[in-house]
A and B are shown apart, each in its own frame.
Chain A
Amino acid sequence: EAGVAQSPRYKIIEKRQSVAFWCNPISGHATLYWYQQILGQGPKLLIQFQNNGVVDDSQLPKDRFSAERLKGVDSTLKIQPAKLEDSAVYLCASSLVWGRGPGELFFGEGSRLTVL
């Protein structure tokens, strides 16, 4: 079974530039998560999709971050314009279970962003 795919693995940009990250979850997984992990910290949830609908984006800085999940499969996370504090690893995860079922999260390798 293929895992969660993310690209690019690494990206370096200047502040105020834009960047986009792509995630392909495990086939059949209904729930998709984007987490931001700053160095030395735990992952922080940015946005959560169930199929192609957003169920939680309470911690997404909506003035600069946007995300979409087309046809309930792939997802893209965009930052525009980037700030220095956006330097972090962006982790995509997916889960088979939705609703009330307990479910483990399967993570991709992450996309490491450096903003100069």
Chain B
Amino acid sequence: SQQGEEDPQALSIQEGENATMNCSYKTSINNLQWYRQNSGRGLVHLILIRSNEREKHSGRLRVTLDTSKKSSSLLITASRAADTASYFCATALYSGGYQKVTFGTGTKLQVIP
């Protein structure tokens, strides 16, 4: 089952613009992670935000987390053609001594040169 619902499902922007993707989830979490997947490839970890954090930055990435609304957003600033990929949020919950990681439905981002 999918824990996260991402919005929008697809996004097309011009190079240099900012891209914002949203993720909503249903249950409690310990941390939330964002991954990128280029076409035909595996997923690559981008950033992890813990449940007691509200905002985190990494290079051109900014992630926010609102646990009261059970939502997160990923902002990519000054987008590049190489950012074209699918982006997934993943929620992590510790239960029974292990971390269970559940992925969302993904946002397909196209950056037009």
Contacts and interface: CB of A to CB of B under 8 A. Distances in A.
Contacts, number: 78
Interface size range of chain A in the complex:
20 to 34
B112 interface: no
Contacts of B94: 99-100
Contacts of B1: 44, 59
Contacts of A91: 42-43
B105 A103 contact: no
Does more than half of chain B's interface fall in helix, strand or loop, or is it mixed?
A: strand
A106 interface: yes
Interface in A64-116: 91, 93, 95, 97-110, 112
A8 to B, nearest CB: 14
A97 B42 contact: no
Given A42-B104, A102-B50, A107 B43 contact: yes
Interface string B81-113: 000000010101010111111111110000000
The 9 closest A-B pairs by CB, nearest first: A107-B42, A42-B103, A104-B45, A107-B43, A55-B98, A102-B31, A43-B103, A109-B42, A100-B94
Interface of A: 4, 31, 33, 35, 41-45, 48, 50, 55-56, 59, 91, 93, 95, 97-110, 112
